[in-house]
Chain A
């Protein structure tokens, strides 16, 4: 608690100094992250240092004062460097990341779990199942299987 307080006052001082230096830059120098799932809130306006997200056009890192962006996420790992240096990782199946003007990052995903919580065997069996269905004559089944394969392949790459 004490540490948090000193950190906060420290960051506030940095802010005021920065504001004095660059009067036209109104945006704060901290990145606020909200990572929300429908059934769980993982981060709510928490101050973080850096967030790496798996965008549909490639992975990219977000620091404070990032240009506002709307990006669709592909299955992959969201890597969060907290202000105390701790790194947290969450595998997301998809969603959206939006950086708002003023260094606020909102990530909405449907599911997010830590990479350590996956079982390699069940990924393998489900992947085999999905790959069988990809060439199904039923278009809906094939499309569903293609999405499954995409998610599971991404999962296989990160699960240990």
Chain B
């Protein structure tokens, strides 16, 4: 697209003396801006209609995850202290762009966290093509798993269950698992957020777990840990989806407004040039006619 712009700029520079060509240039430019405005406007409308559903999913997912995490806050669960620390960062965004800084901000948060954990093993799971591409540039050796196809529809629990299943299939034990997602703050802002997920060992060694009755033999901590991983991924996906849709709506709204501004600017320029061309022609004709007298 940019190359086409510079092309037409070069052409209009060489053809500056011939007004007809410039007029046509402005006309094609005006038309293409009008088409872009139509596209961004449609994308904005699509995002607006999806926003309601995404917002509902986010609200219920937040209640769900709050219930899930209550036991950890009461039991004061924290990652176990180990000599050899290994970390897993699950970074979530999606495949599609045109939604502001959603993808770069979450990638930046993950990069900062990786820098903080320097000296320890850090593995990264990327969910979404955009965040995968961004992290692949700087942390390709840390990337262990990547998913795409997320964020086309409102996320469901089975998406999250499939992702957590693949992560468990890696068969590695991590002392610390963190989920990175964009938290929907208001309709115009979001915030990259991290949530810790605890493994079975951390749950078993929670300082205040003794107040709970819990069947250790039936592997309750293991089951709870796996369940909570899927829940945390689901909550992150739902919140991230709402943030992304809302960011896309705003980005497309701004793009449509900018296109509108450009259209009015170019319309004025087009009309002025047209008038100038007519005036020039008239001058030519009148000068020609008067020279015959």
Contacts of B213 in A (CB 8 A): 67-70
Contacts of B64 in A (CB 8 A): 36-38, 41, 108
Contacts of A131 in B (CB 8 A): none
Q: Does A123 contact B (CB under 8 A)?
A: no
Give the residues from 24 to 78 in chain B that come closer than 8 angstroms, CB to CB, to chain A: 57, 59-61, 63-64, 66-68, 70-71, 74
B237 nearest CB across to chain A (Å): 10
Q: Does A103 contact B (CB under 8 A)?
A: no
- Bound form: Cα–Cα A98–B61 in Å: 18
Number of interface residues of A (CB under 8 A): 26
Q: Does A57 contact B (CB under 8 A)?
A: yes
Contacts of B250 in A (CB 8 A): none
Contacts of B57 in A (CB 8 A): 39
Inter-subunit contact B71/A106 (CB<8 Å) = yes
State the majority secondary structure of interface residues on A: strand
Inter-subunit contact A40/B60 (CB<8 Å) = yes
Give the residues from 25 to 39 in chain A that come closer than 8 angstroms, CB to CB, to chain B: 34, 36-39
Q: Does A44 contact B (CB under 8 A)?
A: yes
Contacts of A96 in B (CB 8 A): 68, 224, 227
- Bound form: Cα–Cα A34–B160 in Å: 22
Question: Which of B212, B224, B231 is in CB contact (< 8 Å) with A69?
Answer: B212
| Interface-located stretch among B144-152, B179-187, B215-223 | B215-223
Inter-subunit contact B60/A38 (CB<8 Å) = yes
- Bound form: Cα–Cα A95–B67 in Å: 12
Q: Does A107 contact B (CB under 8 A)?
A: yes
- Bound form: Cα–Cα A68–B210 in Å: 10
Q: Does A110 contact B (CB under 8 A)?
A: yes
With CB as the reference atom, state the residue of chain B lying closest to A41: B63
With CB as the reference atom, state the residue of chain A lying closest to B212: A68
Other A-B pairs beyond A36-B60, A56-B215, A100-B74, 4, CB < 8 Å: A36-B63, A57-B215, A70-B71, A101-B211
Task: Offer 23 A-B interface pairs, CB within 8 angstroms, sorted by A.
Answer: A34-B63, A36-B60, A37-B60, A38-B234, A39-B60, A41-B60, A41-B64, A56-B218, A57-B218, A67-B213, A68-B74, A68-B212, A68-B213, A69-B213, A70-B71, A70-B213, A72-B218, A96-B68, A98-B70, A100-B71, A101-B74, A106-B68, A106-B71
